[in-house]
């Protein structure tokens, strides 16, 4: 059976009313994307609005200076075409995928929590027994999801995300609409974090969540392990 991953990215390119540009954090898409593709999985991209998804310019260096998977992604026309034509989350049946994977970037904080399509994707995937994974601010896509009992889906679950301390270090505490770690705790999640910028992830049943860009590869490997798929040697092209 062909394993399939649905990656849901942000459609939002602005930090609220500040006008500051944001979007998807490149590493958090590129690194997991190629872990999955190289292992033989099909990867589809979706977003709240569908169509082209914005990349946070802060996550990119001049060509030739990025980490290898980002360089590979920038040079891969097929993957770039997918990013220019993401599916609308509301139009995708996430329950038919083996996992839903939510990369971060500050853009997610404004559009993932309030998007009904994203909420339904997370709820339907979880309800069908599929994996739900996120990296960094991608966990913003978990905060509105509820279980059949109406309780937050993360309640009582060991969950991780970009921490409040990391948000402060990034200088965005007063910019973001809410602090992600704090919101997850308020929803009843059993939050587990690590020191700033350390690679860290948590698995609790169907949930696999990672803390920051440095955790992207770790979360992807956790997903492959949970699916019983052997990782392939990493290629740079």
Per-residue pLDDT of the chain (237 residues; tens, 9 = 90+): 589 999 999 999 999 999 899 999 999 999 999 999 999 999 999 999 999 999 999 999 999 999 999 999 999 999 999 999 999 999 999 999 999 999 999 999 999 999 999 999 999 999 999 999 999 999 999 999 999 999 999 999 999 999 999 999 999 999 999 999 999 999 999 999 999 999 999 999 999 999 999 999 999 999 999 999 999 998 887
Strand, coil or helix: 55: strand
What residues contact residue 8 under an 8 Å CB cut-off, 6+ apart? Answer: 45, 46, 47, 89, 100, 101, 102, 112, 118, 121, 141
The DSSP symbol for 51 reads B
Q: Alpha-carbon distance 159 to 122, whole Å?
A: 15
Q: Alpha-carbon distance 29 to 159, whole Å?
A: 20
Supply the pLDDT for residue 151: 98
List, in sequence order, every residue forming a beta bridge with 207; answer none if it has no partner. Answer: 132, 204
Supply the pLDDT for residue 1: 57
Dmax over Cα atoms in the chain, in whole Å?
A: 50
Q: Alpha-carbon distance 71 to 126, whole Å?
A: 33
Q: Which helix (H) or strand (E) holds 45?
A: strand 42-47
Buried b (16+ CB within 10 A) or exposed e, 165-197: ebbeeeebeebbeebbbebbeebebebebbeee
Q: How many residues does the chain have?
A: 237
Domains of the chain and CATH, by start: 4-227 (3.40.50.880)
Closest Cα to residue 7, out of 42, 59, 51, 55?
A: 42
Q: Which helix (H) or strand (E) holds 220?
A: helix 216-227
How far apart, in Å, are the Cα atoms of 180 and each of 44, 88, 138, 150? 26, 24, 10, 21
Do 52 and 83 meet the contact criterion of CB atoms below 8 Å apart?
Answer: yes
Do 21 and 13 meet the contact criterion of CB atoms below 8 Å apart?
Answer: yes
- pTM of this prediction? 0.97
Residue in the block written with tokens 């990656």: 7
């Amino acid at each position: 059976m062909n394993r399939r991953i649905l990656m849901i990215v942000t459609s939002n390119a602005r930090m609220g009313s500040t006008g500051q540009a944001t979007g998807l954090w490149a590493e958090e898409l590129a690194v997991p994307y190629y872990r999955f593709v190289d292992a033989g999985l099909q990867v589809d991209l979706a977003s709240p609005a569908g169509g082209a998804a914005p990349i946070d310019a802060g996550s990119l260096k001049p060509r030739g200076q990025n980490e290898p998977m980002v360089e590979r992604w920038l040079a891969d026309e097929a993957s770039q075409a997918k990013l220019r034509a993401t599916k609308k989350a509301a139009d995708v049946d996430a329950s038919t995928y083996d996992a839903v994977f939510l990369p971060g970037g500050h853009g997610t904080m404004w559009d993932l929590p309030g998007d009904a399509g994203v909420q339904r994707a997370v709820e339907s995937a979880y309800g069908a027994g599929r994996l739900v994974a996120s990296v960094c601010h991608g966990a913003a896509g978990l905060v509105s999801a509820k279980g059949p009992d109406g309780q937050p889906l993360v309640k009582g679950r060991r969950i991780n995300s970009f921490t409040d301390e990391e948000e402060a270090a990034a200088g965005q505490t007063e910019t973001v609409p809410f602090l992600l770690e704090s919101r997850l705790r308020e929803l009843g999640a059993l939050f587990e974090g690590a020191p700033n910028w350390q690679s860290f992830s948590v698995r609790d049943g169907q949930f696999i969540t990672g803390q920051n860009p440095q955790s992207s590869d770790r979360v992807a490997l956790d997903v492959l392990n949970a699916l019983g798929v052997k990782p392939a040697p990493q290629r740079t092209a």
